[in-house]
């Protein structure tokens, strides 16, 4: 089952670069992992340290296979209600659900206390520098106490049972609101009554996430990419690295010591926009890699991209060539994020 996700962007700061547009829906999957062995189940599938999460704290993690490849990226939250709340990509929903269900059955057959429930919820993302201010008008909770990657269940503009998580896919402050399907239209309508709130489509979301250096599954990471190659080593929990008890650990952990052939890097150029599948070449004109995501940056007024190159070409400041429309143009390896993130943390 796939759940539609609407992006409601509050325009401000770098979000002002985008004109209001009709929202194009995309999808996510929301799941509860239940039972006293819920952490054991999740840690058998992902690379993160789920056991260390505080109540209502979440983390980005990765499903991996035994070859070290990334099956999907997901957010796992350890809720104060006694379950794990999991949000993953609907494009990978069938394999993600099968992966979790198979592990549930395996552990249940061992006598473990674990279960799985698919949530019948929609997800609304309200993003931008004053997103919390806009939302505060519709909730009783003090959102100043809700820092990045934490969540709370509350009533939002009259819709009860919403889980509000301080996160998003734009690099800006904002929230993602898991809302029962029956109340989704009412909530979206209530948010849009604020004249400063506009609907944002996928083009706006994609350029924002790229400016923030965030991966898109299926483009920048996939089953043939390891977390280290994808510059996502930070998702590997310290305890999990030492225990080497996650799928693909025998491949991934040695790569942390430098035994990796390629890495995801940021690229910047002032010529024509770099697009996915554009060849990356060294200065001698030999193809060394491929662009995985690229677009003009409204904030920087330059073209930005991500792609994979051999490690010897991954240092920021390295000059390369990118082939765009059969013409070669200069590009420079750049640090990410291209635009500083504005996540909200408690002062």
In a domain, 119, yes or no: yes
- And the tokens for 293? 């995501």
Q: pLDDT band for 23, please (50, 70, 90 cuts).
A: very low
33: left (phi over 0), alpha (psi -120 to 50) or beta: beta
The size of the chain, in residues, is: 347
CATH assignment of the domain containing 200: 3.30.70.1400
Verify that 296 and 199 share a domain, yes or no. Answer: no
Q: pLDDT band for 230, please (50, 70, 90 cuts).
A: very high
Binding positions: 176
- And the tokens for 308? 């994979």
Verify that 76 and 192 share a domain, yes or no. Answer: yes
* Mean pLDDT score, 134-152: 97
In a domain, 253, yes or no: no
- Say how many CA atoms lie within 13 Å of 162 toward its Cβ: 31
The CB density around residue 340, as the number of other CB atoms within 10 Å, is 11
**Is the predicted pLDDT of residue 9 greater than 90, yes or no?**
no
Verify that 31 and 138 share a domain, yes or no. Answer: yes
Asked which of 209, 243, 277 is the last residue of a domain, the reply is 209
In a domain, 216, yes or no: no
Domain of residue 317 covers 262-336
Asked which of 169, 184, 209 is the last residue of a domain, the reply is 209
Q: How many domains is the chain built from? A: 2
Angle 80-65-116 (CA atoms, 0-180°, nearest 5)? 35
In a domain, 143, yes or no: yes
C-alpha–C-alpha distance, residues 333 and 38, integer Å: 41
Verify that 34 and 177 share a domain, yes or no. Answer: yes
In a domain, 307, yes or no: yes
Q: pLDDT tens across 251-294, in order?
A: 999 999 887 999 999 999 988 999 999 999 999 999 999 999 99
User: Quick one: what percent of the chain has pLDDT higher than 70?
Assistant: 92
Binding positions for substrate: 176
**Is the predicted pLDDT of residue 162 greater than 80, yes or no?**
yes
Verify that 137 and 275 share a domain, yes or no. Answer: no
Higher pLDDT among residues 20 and 289, named by residue: 289
Verify that 150 and 67 share a domain, yes or no. Answer: yes
DSSP state of 54: P
User: Quick one: what percent of the chain has pLDDT higher than 90?
Assistant: 85
Verify that 55 and 125 share a domain, yes or no. Answer: yes
Contact 86, 165 (CB under 8 A): no
- And the tokens for 58? 């979440």
CATH assignment of the domain containing 306: 2.40.30.110
In a domain, 240, yes or no: no
pLDDT for 7: 55
Contact 307, 267 (CB under 8 A): yes
Verify that 201 and 79 share a domain, yes or no. Answer: yes
* Mean pLDDT score, 53-75: 98
* Mean pLDDT score, 160-187: 95
Verify that 272 and 201 share a domain, yes or no. Answer: no
pTM, full prediction: 0.92
Q: pLDDT band for 16, please (50, 70, 90 cuts).
A: very low
Q: pLDDT band for 1, please (50, 70, 90 cuts).
A: very low
Verify that 271 and 202 share a domain, yes or no. Answer: no
Verify that 41 and 145 share a domain, yes or no. Answer: yes
Interstrand relation of 197-199 and 174-180 (parallel, antiparallel or unpaired): unpaired
**Is the predicted pLDDT of residue 35 greater than 90, yes or no?**
yes
pLDDT for 346: 86
In a domain, 192, yes or no: yes
* Mean pLDDT score, 129-143: 95
Query: Of 2-11, 198-207, 235-244, where does mean pLDDT reach its minimum?
Result: 2-11
In a domain, 197, yes or no: yes
Asked which of 192, 209, 226 is the last residue of a domain, the reply is 209
* Mean pLDDT score, 126-153: 96
């Amino acid at each position: 089952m796939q759940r539609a996700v609407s992006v409601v962007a509050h325009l401000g700061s770098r979000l002002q670069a985008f004109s209001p547009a009709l929202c194009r829906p995309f999808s996510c999957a929301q799941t509860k992992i239940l039972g006293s062995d819920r952490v054991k189940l999740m840690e058998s599938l992902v690379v993160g340290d789920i056991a260390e999460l505080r109540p209502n704290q979440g983390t980005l993690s990765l499903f991996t296979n035994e070859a070290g490849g990334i099956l999907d990226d997901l957010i796992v939250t350890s809720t104060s209600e006694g379950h794990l709340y999991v949000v993953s990509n609907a494009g990978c929903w069938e394999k993600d659900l099968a992966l979790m269900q198979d592990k549930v059955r395996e552990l249940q057959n061992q006598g473990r206390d674990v279960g799985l429930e698919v949530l019948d919820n929609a997800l609304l993302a309200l993003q931008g520098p004053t997103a919390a201010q806009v939302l505060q008008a519709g909730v009783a909770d003090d959102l100043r106490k809700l820092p990045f990657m934490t969540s709370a269940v509350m009533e939002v503009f009259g819709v009860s049972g919403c889980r509000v998580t301080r996160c998003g896919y734009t690099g800006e402050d904002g929230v993602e609101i898991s809302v029962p399907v029956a109340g989704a239209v009412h909530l979206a309508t209530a948010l849009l009554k604020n004249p400063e709130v506009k609907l944002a489509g996928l083009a706006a979301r994609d350029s924002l996430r790229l400016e923030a250096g965030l991966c898109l599954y299926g483009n920048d990471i996939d089953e043939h990419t390891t977390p280290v190659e994808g510059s996502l080593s930070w998702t590997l929990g310290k305890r999990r690295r030492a225990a080497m008890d996650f799928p693909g650990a025998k491949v991934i952990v040695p790569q942390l010591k430098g035994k990796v052939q390629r890495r995801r890097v940021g690229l910047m150029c002032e010529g024509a926009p770099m697009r996915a599948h554009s060849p990356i070449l060294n200065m001698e004109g030999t193809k060394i890699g491929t662009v995985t995501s690229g677009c003009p940056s409204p904030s920087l007024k330059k073209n930005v991209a991500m792609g994979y190159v051999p490690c010897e070409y991954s240092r920021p400041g390295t000059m390369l060539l990118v082939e765009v429309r059969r013409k070669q143009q200069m590009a420079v390896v750049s640090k990410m994020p291209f635009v500083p993130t504005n996540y909200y943390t408690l002062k």
